[in-house]
Chain A
Amino acid sequence: MVNILENKLKEKISSLIEELEIIIGYSESKAPLKVNPVFIKTKEEIDRLIFNNLCINNLATYSYYLAADTKGKIGIILKPCDVKSIIQLISEELLIKNKIKTIVIGCNGIIDYKKINKAVNYQKIISAKLDENNNNITVNTVDESFNFRLKDFFAEKCYTCNIYDNPPYYDEFIENDFKLNLEKKKEYEDIEEFEKLGLEKIYKFWEEEFNNCIRCYSCRNICPLEVCRDKCIAQLDEPHWQSQKINSSEGKFFQMIRIFHLAGRCTECGECERVCPANIELLKLMKKVNQIILKLFDYRPGLILDMKPPLLTFKNVEQNIKEEELI
C-alpha cells in the first residue's frame, strides 16, 4: 500500500518539477527508524523520495527561510497536520501563498520513534523494517529482535487527529484509501490530568524537568512558526532578558518566551518535543496555551487562511473574559 502511495507521489512530483525550483521531501536515512529531509532540484533525484509511517518530521520548518532565499516557487511535501503550519504562516503574512506549492499526502499515521526506543528498553537499535501491509514493524537490537504492532506506537497527535484524509488547505492532494482506525482520545485529556497534581507538585515537576535543559535552542530552531531566530530576545544583549547560565529557572524562562511568542499560533506539530535532547515535555506547555486560547477566543491555530491570531486583534467587549475587580 505504501508503495502505491509512493509511486503516486513520484508521478505527481515528475509532473510538477518543471515549474518548481526546489522540492522538499523525505528520503531514506542511515539511522534506523528515522527519515531525512531531501531537497530535490532535478528529475533524476525524484527516485530518492519516500513516504511511510516513519515520516514524522514537519517539513514546513524549511519553508520560511527557503522561500526567502529562492527566486522561484518551492514545493513542499506535507502531511495533513503539517499543512496547518503553512496556513498559519500565510495567515500571518510571513509566507506568500503564490510562492509555495503544498503537496499534501493522505496520512497513514506516523510512528513516534521515542515510544519504540522505550519499548525496547533503550537498547541500541541496529535496523528496523516496516512490513508490506503496514501493520507491523520489526526492530532489531544488538541481542534481540522485536515485532511490534504499529497501532501501539503512533505519535500522540494521531490519537486526536481528524484531518488525516481531509487537509484544511492544499494545492495538490494525493489521496490515500487508508483509514486510520485509532481509538480516539479526548482533546487536552492529558492536560486536565496533569493539572490535578496541584500547584506545588506542578512547580516541582517543571523545576526538575528544566534542570535538564541545556538551552541548545533546538526547540526554537525546529519550530516552523518561530521565524524570529536572529532577533530572538533570549540572545539579545540589549535588553538583556536572559543570562547564558544553564539552570532550571533560565531554561524555564526561555520556554516562557517561546510560549508567549507562540500563543494562539502553535499548531501542535510536536517537533519541539521530538527534537529535545533532554526529553522535556514541551508540548504540554503549548497545549495548555492552546486550550486557553480555545476557551477564551474560540480559535484553533492553522485552520483558516484569512484569520488573524487572537492576540493580534481584539474586541471591545470580550464575552469570555471575566475581569476580577479587587474592590
Chain B
Amino acid sequence: MNITNENGKSLVNDKNKKEDVKIVAFLCNWCSYAGADAAGTSRLRQPENIRIIRVPCSGRINPLFVLKAFNLGADGVLVSGCHPNDCHYSEGNFYARRRLEVLKEFLPFIGIDKRRFSYQWVSASEAQKWQKVVINFVKIIKEING
C-alpha cells in the first residue's frame, strides 16, 4: 500500500522497505508504558521500529489517533493498555475495547489491512510479553509490506 503524507509524498522509504517499517504505539501510562520500560531496563532485545506515545489511559485513545497515524504514513499502529478489570481508572479500558474493536472491524472497509492495527493488554510486570508482542507485530507488518 502506498501511504502518503499531506503533500502527497510517500512516507515509506522504498529502498529498504522491508527494514524501514514505522510503527506507532499508544501505551497507557500505568501498565503498558511501565511494562515497555521494564523491558528496556531488563535489556530484552526488541526491534527499533516502534515509536511510543504515552497516554494517560487506553480510554484516552480516540480511534482517530490511529487513523491519523495511518494517514501520516505509519505502517502499523499498536495500542496497549492495562488488562480488563485492572485499569487505573477502573473502567477506561472497557470503553477502549469497544471503540478499538469497532475501528479494527472498520479498517478493511477503507482499504487498510486489519492486521496493521492491533490492541493488546500488557501489564507493568509483563516485560517479556511486551517483547513478544513487539517482535510479532513487527514481523506481521514486514510480511504485509512485502
Interface positions of A (Cβ within 8 A of B)? 195, 199-206, 233, 241, 243, 245, 247, 249-250, 252-253, 256-257, 259-260, 263-264, 285, 288-289, 292-293, 295-297, 310-311, 314-316, 318, 321, 323-327
Contacts and interface: CB of A to CB of B under 8 A. Distances in A.
Contact of B6 (A199, A243, A293, A323): A243
B111 to A, nearest CB: 3
B105 A292 contact: yes
28 contacts: A202-B109, A203-B110, A203-B111, A205-B111, A206-B110, A249-B4, A256-B64, A256-B67, A257-B64, A260-B103, A263-B99, A263-B102, A264-B102, A288-B106, A288-B109, A293-B102, A295-B105, A311-B95, A314-B97, A314-B98, A315-B94, A318-B98, A321-B98, A321-B101, A323-B121, A324-B118, A326-B133, A326-B137
B8 interface: yes
Interface extent on B, as a size class? 35 or more
Contacts of A324: 118
B112 A260 contact: no
B6 A241 contact: no
Mostly, the B contact residues are helix
Contacts of B136: 326-327
B88 interface: no
Contacts of A327: 129, 132-133, 136
A292 B8 contact: no
B113 interface: yes
Given A200-B1, A205-B111, 6 more contacts: A199-B113, A243-B6, A257-B64, A285-B110, A323-B121, A326-B118
A297 to B, nearest CB: 7
A314 B108 contact: no
A199 B98 contact: no
Given A260-B62, A326-B132, A296 B105 contact: yes
Nearest to A194: B109
Interface of B: 1, 4, 6, 8, 62-64, 67-68, 71, 84-85, 91, 94-95, 97-99, 101-103, 105-106, 108-113, 118-121, 129, 132-133, 136-137, 140
The 3 closest A-B pairs by CB, nearest first: A203-B111, A314-B94, A202-B111
B102 A292 contact: yes
Most chain A CB within 10 A, of B99, B111, B112, B140, is at: B111
Contacts of A288: 106, 109
B133 A241 contact: no
A308 to B, nearest CB: 12
Given A314-B91, A325-B120, A326-B137, A253 B67 contact: yes
Contact of B84 (A203, A249, A292, A316): A316
Contact of A318 (B97, B103, B110, B121): B97
A307 to B, nearest CB: 15
Contacts of B113: 199
Contact of B63 (A206, A260, A325): A260
Nearest to A257: B64
A202 B108 contact: yes
Contacts of B68: 241, 253
Contacts of A247: 6, 8
A87 to B, nearest CB: 21
Most chain B CB within 10 A, of A247, A253, A323, is at: A323
Contacts of B85: 316
A201 B111 CA distance: 8
A292 B114 CA distance: 14
A260 B64 contact: yes
B105 A199 contact: no
A288 B109 CA distance: 8
A289 B108 contact: no
Contacts of A233: 64
